[in-house]
């Protein structure tokens, strides 16, 4: 998995299609899918909507996004035992999460944070990054 940071240009290249796909899944206007809106708190997304969005993004972009990929990407090279303990994200894990979800304002990272609550942080930008990562992984190695 490549850990190279996703550039703003890469994000903006996929954002229009991501926003359209998410609006379709959530039944909202595409204008409401701002890059930085919280999907759960701002757009009332539920767990089934996350499945739906991933499912649609896979088909829209012809990519494969394994379940739990966002958290896996966020964890990066950190072993699972160091990322979380008993369902709570560790200090090291929080630092890793802040770094991966750099688009999310610092005040939204509440501690202690349950692993199950990580999706509360997700925004459309998170999904744009997910798509860019999946596109990179789909490309044959140079």
Chain residues that interact with another protein, rule: CB under 8 A: 24, 27, 46, 48-49, 51-52, 55, 59, 67
Beta strands in the chain (DSSP E): 84-85, 88-89
CB of 114 to another protein, least distance (A): 19
Instruction: Pick between residue 13 and residue 42 the one whose CB is nearest to another protein.
Output: 42
Instruction: Pick between residue 23 and residue 35 the one whose CB is nearest to another protein.
Output: 23
CB of 42 to another protein, least distance (A): 17
CB of 69 to another protein, least distance (A): 12
Q: Helices in 27-123 by DSSP H: which ranges?
A: 47-61, 69-75, 80-83, 91-100
Cis status of the peptide bond prior to 112, with omega within 30 of 0: yes
CB of 52 to another protein, least distance (A): 6
Instruction: Pick between residue 46 and residue 91 the one whose CB is nearest to another protein.
Output: 46
Dig out the tokens for 135 from the structure. 């596109």
Q: CA 122, 41, 51 angle in degrees (round to 5)?
A: 50
Instruction: Pick between residue 33 and residue 104 the one whose CB is nearest to another protein.
Output: 33
How far is it, in rounded angstroms, from Cα 24 to Cα 16? 12
């Amino acid at each position: 998995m490549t850990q190279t940071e996703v550039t703003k240009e890469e994000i903006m290249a996929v954002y229009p299609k991501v926003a359209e796909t998410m609006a379709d899944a959530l039944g909202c206007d595409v204008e409401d899918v701002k890059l930085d809106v919280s999907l759960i708190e701002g757009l009332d997304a539920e767990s089934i909507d996350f499945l739906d969005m991933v499912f649609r993004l896979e088909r829209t972009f012809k990519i494969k996004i394994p379940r739990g990929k966002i958290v896996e990407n966020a964890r990066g090279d950190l072993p699972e035992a160091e990322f979380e303990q008993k369902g709570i994200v560790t200090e090291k894990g929080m630092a890793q999460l802040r770094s991966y979800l750099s688009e999310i304002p610092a005040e939204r990272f509440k501690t202690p944070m349950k692993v199950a609550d990580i999706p509360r942080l997700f925004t459309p930008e998170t999904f744009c990054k997910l798509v860019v990562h999946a596109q990179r992984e789909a490309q044959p190695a140079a």
